[in-house]
Structure 1
Amino acid sequence: MTKAIIFDMDGTLFQTEMVLEYALEAVFADLKSEGKWEGEAPLDAYKDIMGVPLSVVWGTLLPEETEQVREKINGKFQGYLISSIREGKGALYPHVKETLADLKEAGYTLLIASNGLPDYLKAIMDTYHLDRYISDVFSIAAVPSGDKGELVEKVCRTYEVTEGTGVGDRLSDFNAAHRNRLKAVGCRFDFSKEEELKEADVIIDDLQELKNI
C-alpha cells in the first residue's frame, strides 16, 4: 500500500532541451556526411513530438529510412545525449531537488516513468544524484507496447500504489495517470502545449507548487 508520486523525466525534472540540440545536430551531421540528410537538423520538429516513444520520433523525422537504419541512428543519438549529460551540459529544472527532498520527507514514494531508455535515464540519475530521492526508475523499454499508460500501470502494480499522482508535461503523461486512477499534474514547461495541459487536473509553473497540492 503505497502513496506515490510518479514523475516523467524529460521536460518535467530534466531540462532536456539543453542537451537535445547538441545531440540532434551531431547525429544529423553524421547523416549529412553519409548523404542521407540535407539542410539543418529538424530541432523544431523534434520538440513538437517530444514525449512520444523514440520509434515514433525516428519514424516521423526519417520516414523513408528502414527500421534498421533508424535503430542505428537512435543508438548514436543516445550516445550523444549521454555524453552531454555526463559532461554537465544539461540541468534539472529549478527547485527539483528541494521539492523531491520535501516530498520524500512527507512520506511519498517517488518514482520515475519515462519514455527515455535505461542508459539515458541512468546518466541523469547518476549525474544529479537523484537516487537520494527517487526510489525506482521505469523506462519505456520495460513494456513491449511502448505505451506510457501501460508503463505507469507496471509502476503502480510493482509498488502497490493505492493513492498517487502523475506529474508530467505532455498528453501521454496525463492519459497515463488517468488510466491508472491517479491525479494528473501538468507542468507548464518547455515542451508543454496549452491544449494538452487542459487534460491535466492541476497545472503548475514551478515544481515547488507540488508541495501545496
Structure 2
Amino acid sequence: MSQSMIFDMDGTLFQTDKILELSLNDTFNHLRLLNKWDTETPIDNYREIMGVPLPKVWETLLQNHSIEVREQTDAYFLKRLIENIKSGKGALYPNVKEVFRYLKENQCTIYIASNGLKEYLKAIVSYYHLDEWVTETFSIQQIDSLNKSDLVKSIIDKYEITNGAVVGDRLSDINAAKDNGLVSIGCRFDFAREEELSQADLVIDDLIELQTLLPQLNK
C-alpha cells in the first residue's frame, strides 16, 4: 500500500529558531528606526504563538499598530528571513535528508504543508535542495481560511491520498491529521508542547525514528 507523509516545516524540518530571533531583531530594529517601536524585541511573545500564520503574529505583536504598519512589517520580516536562509544562517533538523531518502526508496510520497509564506518556503526548499524528494510544498497562503486542516485536505484531494500521516510539532498539525483521517506524528522538538503532543497518535524525538515507524504505518 502506497504511503504519503505530509510534513510541517517550521520546528519540524527547519530549525526556525536559528534565524527567528535574528530576523525578528532585524525587523524591530527597523521599526525603531521608523519610530514605531521603543521597547525590546518581543521574542518571548513570538515563541508563545510560534506556528500560527504571520498575519496572526502581527495582530498579536503589533496590537496597537495600523494594518498598514503590520503589512509593511510582515514584508520586511519575510525579506530578512529569506536573506538569512540564503546566507546559510538556518539549518535543517538532524537526519532530514537521510529520512527523506529512506522514505522515497520505500515508495513513500513526501509533501510539505506549512503556515509559512510561499516565498519563505521556496527559499528553504531551494537552499537545501529538498525538491529532490518533496513532491510539492503547500503554503497556508493557498487557503482562504488559514486553517492547517483545510490545507492538508487540499493535498489529500489533489493527490487522492488514502493512506498517510502528518508529521509536525504543534497541535495544528495533529488536528490536521485527525480532521482528515490520517495518522498524527508529533515531534518533540524546539517549539513542541507536551500537552499538545499528548494528543498525537505517535511521538518522536528524532526524525530518524520514522524509518522504524514506516513499516508499522504500512500495515
Contact 1:2 1:159 in 2 (8 A): no
Q: What CA distance in whole angstroms lies between the structure 1 residues aligned with 2:114 and 2:212?
A: 24
Equivalent position of 1:5 in the other structure: 5
Equivalent position of 1:87 in the other structure: 87
Equivalent position of 2:28 in the other structure: 28
1:140 aligns with 2:140: yes
Contact 1:2 1:160 in 2 (8 A): no
Equivalent position of 2:71 in the other structure: 71
* Paired residue secondary structure (1:162): coil
Taking only aligned residues, the RMSD between alpha carbons, in angstroms, comes to 1.0
* Paired residue secondary structure (1:12): coil
Which amino acid is 1:186 matched to?
G
What TM-score do you get using the length of structure 1 for normalisation?
Answer: 0.98
1:56 aligns with 2:46: no
* Paired residue secondary structure (1:72): helix
Contact 2:2 2:107 in 1 (8 A): no
User: How far apart are 1:3 and its partner, in Å?
Assistant: 2.4
Contact 2:188 2:203 in 1 (8 A): yes
What TM-score do you get using the length of structure 2 for normalisation?
Answer: 0.95
How many matched pairs?
213
Equivalent position of 1:38 in the other structure: 38
The gaps in structure 2 that reach 5 residues or longer are 214-219
Equivalent position of 1:125 in the other structure: 125
The gaps in structure 1 that reach 5 residues or longer are none
User: How far apart are 1:2 and its partner, in Å?
Assistant: 5.5
Deviation digits for residues 83-128 of structure 1, max 9, x if unmatched?
A: 0000000000000000010011111110000000111001000100
Q: What CA distance in whole angstroms lies between the structure 1 residues aligned with 2:133 and 2:42?
A: 35
Contact 1:7 1:112 in 2 (8 A): yes
Relative to structure 2, which stretch is displaced further, 85-94 or 38-47?
A: 38-47
Equivalent position of 1:151 in the other structure: 151
Which ranges of 4 or more aligned residues in structure 1 deviate by more than 2 Å?
none
Q: What CA distance in whole angstroms lies between the structure 2 residues aligned with 1:195 and 1:37?
A: 34
Q: What CA distance in whole angstroms lies between the structure 2 residues aligned with 1:54 and 1:69?
A: 14
